[in-house]
Structure 1
Amino acid sequence: MSLWMILPISLPVFTITGIWVVYAMSLYNQHVCPVHNWLYNESCEEQLPLQRGPVLCCTLDNIPLISKCGTLPPESCFFSLICSTGSFMVMLIGLLRYAHVIEKHQNCVLNTAGLSAAWICAAGLIMVGNFQVDFAKVLHYVGAGVAFPSSMLFVCLQSALTYRLAKTQEEYRVAHLRAGMALLALVALVLSGVFFCQESFVLQHASAIFEWIYCMLIMLFYGTFAFEFGGMSGDTLVVLSRGGRGGRGGGGGEEGLQSFSTSGCKMEVGGGSNHHQPDNLSTL
């Protein structure tokens, strides 16, 4: 087992724990209402931080959306830290996954698109964490509009890529797991977006719950890369140093290019001998 598998496991552990800590801090400071609260009013006589008692008067400003939980200090500081750190880890995992596919198989459109989606998601996540919704609403919503769709695209691309490269029964089980998580995440994202646009307090509260579910699923999806990262070695970094050129069996170069397919990943053609190299060069 390679120590690289700690990286994809640490991302969901760190982010999921972190955002629940942010929620707990926000709840303690009475900046949002609890998740189990379904009663909201148009307005309240006192703002939530000034209220006392077991029954609280909540408005739409107190719905426990993830962004709302990280809007006000001190929890906003931790929320920004979690998003920035998580963004870096997403970029790193996406890059290593990209290189690992090239090392073990060959590069393809699905692999390149997956890397692009991961990095776009990371950029959106930085904006979400550092521009709070109550103080920079436009920039925050731009970041959310980038992060949510790109993260959904990433899990869909990686699910398809896993099926494309699967050879063993265990790899197919991982592919089934990822496809199921991607489907659940898609349902949660659609319901969250649809309910968020409604005027009903109940539906907007349901939107917050589905948003939490979606984020949990996406983070857990990243954790499944521990299956591939467990077999990763230093050769993966060599692939990156070559600018993404390489493949299983050390083919690389001209022979590696022959296994590239614009419709998806294909296995490498084979090593070949030296007397075939002039024919390959003339073909290119």
Structure 2
Amino acid sequence: MSLWLILPVSLPAFTITGIWVVYAMALYNQHVCPVNNWLYNQSCEEELSVQRGPVLCCTLDNVPLISKCGTLPPESCFFSLICSTGSFIVMVIVLLRYAHVIEKHQNCVLNTAGLSTGWICAAGLIMVGNFQVDHAKVLHYVGAGVAFPTSMLFVCLQSALTYRLAKTQGEYNMGHLRCGMTLLAFIALVLSGVFFVQESFVLQHASAIFEWVFCVIIMLFYGTFAFEFGGVSGDTLMVLAKGGTQGSPSRDCKVESVRGPSQHQPESISML
């Protein structure tokens, strides 16, 4: 079993723990309201960061969206570090997944599309982490507008690819798991986006919760690649060294590897 399986496991362990640490720091510094707080006001006499007492006055500027949790220092520094490091790990995982599919089967449209969307998602995540919403709103929303849809498209492509390449019951079970996670992520993303554009305090807060759910599901989805990465070897890296040209390109991935030349040659040729 390859040690490469540690890589997809480390991504959700690092990112999920990291964003919850950022949330805890933002909560400690009173930069956002707690997740369990559903009471908001149009305005407050004092800013949240200077308020004291068991009951806090919160406005929509204090909704605990992930981006809001990482918009002010010191938590903004950790948020940028987590997003940048997570983006790098995502790029490596996506690249190894691409090479592993070529090594074990052959290249196809689904595999190439998965590589492209995964890397685009990583680029958007870097923008989200390094352009805080309160200081560079346009660039932050551009990054979010890139990262969220492409991450959703990536898990859809990988779910379809898992089913396409499945041969054993274990591989089909993994396809079922990924399909279920993809469905839950899609529901969470849609609800988060719909609630985010509403003016209701309750719906804005619900949007933040669904955003957290979506991000956690996506990170856990990457963790499921440990199932395939146990078979990553030096030959997988050689596929990358060759430019991913092993096997003939195909519109649909095939379960069996590309066969060699036929063993039965015409008699006229064999006599030569």
TM-score range, shorter chain: over 0.9
Instruction: Tell me whether 1:190 sits opposite 2:190 in the alignment.
Output: yes
The answer to whether the aligner puts 1:229 opposite 2:229 as a matched pair is: yes
**SS, match of residue 202 in structure 1:** helix
**1:160 CA drift (Å):** 0.2
Partner of 1:54: 54
Q: Does the 8 A contact of 2:33 with 2:62 survive in 1?
A: yes
**Letter paired with 2:109:** V
CA contact (8 A) 2:106 2:250 kept: no
Query: 1:265 aligns to what?
Result: 253
SS of 2:88's partner is helix
One-letter identity of the residue aligned with 1:53: G
Alpha-carbon distance between aligned partners in 2 of 1:274 and 1:265, rounded to the nearest angstrom: 24
Look up the match of 2:153. 153
Q: Aligned partners of 2:109 and 2:87: how far apart in 1? A: 23
Q: TM-score, normalised by structure 1?
A: 0.91
Structure 1 stretches of 5 or more lacking a match?
A: 247-255, 277-284
| Matches of 1:42 and 1:96, distance apart in 2 | 49
- TM-superposed CA distance for 1:232, in Å, is 1.0
Structure 2: distance between partners of 1:211 and 1:61 = 16
1:19-78 deviation per Cα after TM superposition (whole angstroms, max 9, x unaligned): 000000000000000000000000000000100011000000000000000000000000
Identity of aligned residues (%): 83
Alignment partner, residue 109 of structure 2: 109
Structure 2 residues without counterparts, runs of 5 or longer:
266-272
Contact 2:102 2:244 in 1 (8 A): yes
- The residue that corresponds to 1:33 in the other structure is 33
Q: Deviations over 1:165-214 (max 9, x none)?
A: 00000000000000000000000000000000000000000000000000
Following the alignment from structure 1 to structure 2, what is the Cα–Cα distance between the partners of residues 49 and 176?
Answer: 45
Amino acid at match of 1:198: Q
**Alpha-carbon distance in structure 1 between the residues aligned to 2:56 and 2:258:** 67
Residue 250 of structure 1 is matched in structure 2 by none
TM-score by length of 2: 0.95
Supply the distance in 1 between the matched residues of 2:242 and 2:210 (Cα, whole angstroms). 42
Aligned length: 264
Q: How does 1:143-182 map to 2 (within 5 A)?
A: 143-182=143-182
* Equivalent residue, structure 1, for 2:206: 206
Q: Which amino acid aligns with 2:165?
A: L
Equivalent residue for 1:245?
Answer: 245
Q: Deviation of residue 273 (structure 1)?
A: 6.2
Deviations 1:84-114 (A, max 9, x none): 0000001000000000000000000000000
Q: Structure 1 runs of 4+ off > 2 angstroms?
A: 271-276
